[in-house]
Amino acid sequence: MPTMSVADAKAGFASLVDEAANGEFVTITRHGKPAAMLVSVEAGEAAKRAMTKRRPDFGEFLMSYPGPADLERDPSPLRDVELE
């Protein structure tokens, strides 16, 4: 995965687009810190789908439990815990 500064990316932008189109992930830095990434259209679309995919909330997750609904509790007393 090539990493380069904005100035270097400007100078060789066409070759970076070719690398991204071939499946490379190109990281572009600004002041030595990652600022952007150039990726292929396929990778960008996959990331966009993953970010917009609806995920169930915790209540829905619990309600989707396929096991028996009448779970038995352990009748033994709780253990003593000292919190400092």
pLDDT at 69: 66
- Overall pTM > 0.75: no
Residues 6+ apart with CB under 8 A from 39: 20, 25, 26, 47
pLDDT tens digit sequence for 9-23: 999 999 999 999 999
CA 11 to CA 75: how far, in whole Å?
A: 71
pLDDT tens digit sequence for 55-72: 888 888 888 888 776 777
The amino acid that residue 39 corresponds to is V
Which burial class, exposed, middle or buried, applies to 24 when counting CB atoms under 10 A from its CB (0-12, 13-18, 19+)?
middle
Mean pLDDT, to the nearest integer, of 12-40? Answer: 93
pLDDT band for position 38 (50/70/90)? very high
Sequence ranges of the domains in the chain:
3-54
Strand positions, DSSP E, 6-47: 26-30, 33-38
Question: What whole-number percentage of the chain has pLDDT above 90?
Answer: 52
| 3-54 CATH choice from 3.40.1620.10, 1.10.3720.10, 3.40.50.360, 3.40.1410.10 | 3.40.1620.10
CA 43 to CA 41: how far, in whole Å?
A: 6
